Amino acid sequence: MSGLPVTRPDRPKPAAVTDGLRSAADYARAEKAEGTRRAYRADWEHFSTWCGGAQTDPIPASAETVAAYLAALADAGLKASTITRRCAAIGYAHRLAGHEPPTQVESVRAVLRGIRRTLGTAAVRKAPAVARTIAAMVKAIPVDSLTGKRDRALLLLGFAAALRRSELAALDVGDIERVEGKGLVVHLRRSKTDQEGAGREIAIPDGRRLRPAAALEDWIAVAELSDGPLFRPIGKGGRLGASRLTDRSIAAIVKRWAGAAGLDPAMFSGHSLRAGFVTQALDDRADPFRVMDVTGHKRIETVRVYDRRNQAFRDHAGKDFL
């Protein structure tokens, strides 16, 4: 997955053309989100290693090689979703290198369909961290430590703005704007569904119960942040780092405080904050379109997925006689 291929013409290309090809390769790779590129790199390395053991070339790979690789993954117990992503990574690498993707051959597609049917494709959903869950988690956090103030602000902001963990990790101090008497505005420069960086704004009311704006401002003040990453690692002795937290670190923070609140950490993830906001808002009969103003979802059907369980009980056929 090093980029676009450089052809071998009869005579050398001018330096400007060679430099242009390198730049084009960089732009081609930039079409994917960083998280996707990171996953694809790991997937490609795994496929290349497997091909080395099988004494076959990873690129261009034959359809038979890819089919055998996917079957080996299934036999090893990987989830259908992981196998599907690795298949996509193989196809993407071939397209970048100027080869026809072997993943589009019908024999490979048939193997992938068979794996999905055999293993099942149902997603393992984590529990949403609704308002009472967030309140319990925040209550378990010590209020007199720098780490506690950071984690409190992180959980409350992630919930109040329905942010993905990657969005939380990417925030800078300059992305937070105070609107006097009302709350905060979060300037989201880029997100999973906005890879071209159009950006959007998310309003965070001051609130009366969880008070996310106050928690965030407390963290910024105590950490003495004026610019750079909003959420940062904290070392021994309370030393504040200059880098930003990773999305994995954010997921670990959610799990940590879920456990401290007496909940099962395995049931929660970084996405629990975003899912919790949507679930809570819909349970409180909020207008789905107003929910979308916060979440940035493009389709109302996506939002309503979070409401199906509540609706199943609310409109149950036997509610009047069971």
Catalytic residues: 164, 192, 271, 274, 297, 306
H or E element in which residue 203 lies = strand 200-205
Of 117, 146, 221, 131, the residue nearest 176 (C-alpha): 221
- Chain centre to alpha carbon of residue 70: 25
Token readout for 70 is 């996917």
Nearest partner of 165 among 85, 84, 276, judged by Cα: 276
Question: What is the dihedral angle through the alpha carbons of 280, 285, 286, 288, rounded to the nearest 10 degrees?
Answer: 90
Is 282 within 8 Å of 314 (Cβ atoms)?
A: no
Q: Give the SS3 label for residue 178.
A: strand
The residue type of 249 is S
